[in-house]
């Protein structure tokens, strides 16, 4: 996954899923990975609610529109918390903590995966 504005890699590898089951399961009961992200493709623009139930480590989250432009950012999303996105998005990228900061990713940046 690459930030096209900064030309910096966000994560080395990512898995893109549109499966409802995989989206519901997310990162629950998984182990943290430094160079790996999970991307949910909702196939249309919509408001997304996220939970961190049974995810035992913090993550960073990018919310992207249908052109893969960052519309919202949630850094250091803690375990056992809930977050309702304020903006509509098509893609949600669940990433290792500090990957947003280290790649210099900001609102309006275009992402490639």
Q: How far apart are CA 41 and CA 5, in angstroms?
A: 22
pTM score = 0.93
Query: Mean pLDDT throughout 8-35?
Result: 88
Domain hosting residue 13, numbered range: 2-112
Residue 56 belongs to a domain with what CATH number?
2.60.120.1140
| Rounded CA separation 34/42 (Å) | 25
List helix spans (H) across the chain. Answer: 20-25, 99-103
Q: Give tens-digit pLDDT for 24-45.
A: 778 888 888 889 999 999 999 9
Q: How many domains does the chain have?
A: 1
pLDDT of residue 21: 77
Tokens of 74: 């949630």
- How much of the chain, in percent, has pLDDT values that exceed 70? 100
């Amino acid at each position: 996954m690459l930030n096209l504005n900064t030309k910096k890699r966000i994560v080395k590898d990512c898995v893109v899923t549109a499966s409802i089951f995989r989206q519901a399961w997310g990162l629950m009961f998984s182990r943290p990975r430094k160079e790996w992200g999970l991307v949910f493709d909702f196939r249309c623009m919509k408001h997304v609610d996220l939970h961190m139930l049974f995810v035992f480590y913090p993550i960073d989250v990018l919310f992207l529109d249908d052109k893969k432009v960052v519309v919202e950012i949630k850094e250091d999303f803690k375990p056992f918390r809930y977050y309702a996105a304020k903006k509509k998005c098509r893609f949600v990228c669940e990433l290792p903590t500090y990957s947003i900061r280290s790649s210099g990713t900001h609102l309006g940046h275009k992402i490639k995966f």
